[in-house]
Homo-oligomer: A and B are copies of this chain.
Amino acid sequence: MSRMSPELQASIDSVRADVANLHSELTRYGLVVWTGGNVSGRVPGADLFVIKPSGVDYDDLTAESMILCDLDGTVIPGSPGSDRSPSSDTAAHAYVYRNMPEVGGVVHTHSTYATAWAARGEAIPCVITAQADEFGGEIPLGPFAIIGDDSIGRGIVATLSGHRSRAVLMQNHGPFTIGRDARDAVKAAVMVEDIARTVHIARQAGEPIPIPPAAIDSLFDRYQNVYGQPTEGTD
């Protein structure tokens, strides 16, 4: 690994710690089982991102075991963790970082309700205000694509580019979410499952009432601009 500035090194270390810690939110909210699911975070100001190793227990994830990759998804030789394989979804994360420069974090899970919508190939209609707040309307469906080339990454980017939603339901597969950083993408992963569950349950007993588009716009605009603490963004 070529020498890097102390600033870049500190930035990488910070993203490693964040990405490692954020995985505990996936288990806290029951979005993953066994070693499934993964979080990644872009290193600000560099063509690098940090991602979970493949097939390692959630209890064993540490900042040092996270894996540093370039934007082609190639592990940076000699970096901590580089003796292990990165997540098998690394190519999809890398494709998103290469093609959506505004994205700083990506998350993938097979969370139950979101995956159930994906198995039927259905987008989630906007019938609760929390969804209007967080995703600005329906949560869209992405194409069927299998692992092994760029097709998952292409499907994510094609669906989410220019869309208000930070979550896409990849058909027969599960949700991918994006955010301005890894934490924001994890929040989207938590919220998409919560909304997928609530709307599923609402529909089991009849037809939910749609929210008028003007109200969706108003809720989305307020939430993006007003919610949360002034110095912290929207978390």
Does the CB pair A187–B34 fall under 8 Å?
yes
A201 in complex: contacting residue of B36, B116, B222, B230, CB < 8 Å: B116
Does the CB pair A33–B191 fall under 8 Å?
yes
A33 in complex: contacting residue of B29, B144, B206, CB < 8 Å: B29
In the complex, which residue of chain B has the Cβ closest to the Cβ of A57? Answer: B235
Q: Which of A48-56, A69-77, A93-101, A159-167 contacts B (4 or more CB under 8 A)?
A: A48-56
The complex places the Cα of A225 from the Cα of B35 at a distance, in Å, of 16
Does the CB pair B172–A110 fall under 8 Å?
no
Does the CB pair B147–A54 fall under 8 Å?
no
The complex places the Cα of A81 from the Cα of B51 at a distance, in Å, of 36
A interface secondary structure, majority: loop
**Is A204 an interface position by the 8 A CB rule?**
yes
Q: List 26 A-B contacts (CB under 8 A).
A: A33-B190, A34-B191, A55-B228, A85-B229, A88-B226, A88-B227, A112-B197, A115-B202, A116-B198, A116-B199, A116-B204, A116-B205, A118-B128, A119-B127, A120-B205, A120-B207, A120-B209, A121-B209, A128-B172, A129-B173, A129-B174, A144-B209, A147-B219, A172-B209, A204-B204, A204-B205
Which residues of A does B touch, CB under 8 Å?
Answer: 29, 33-36, 53-56, 84-85, 88, 110, 112-113, 115-122, 127-130, 144, 146-148, 171-174, 187, 190-191, 194, 197-209, 211, 215, 218-219, 222, 226-230, 232, 234-235
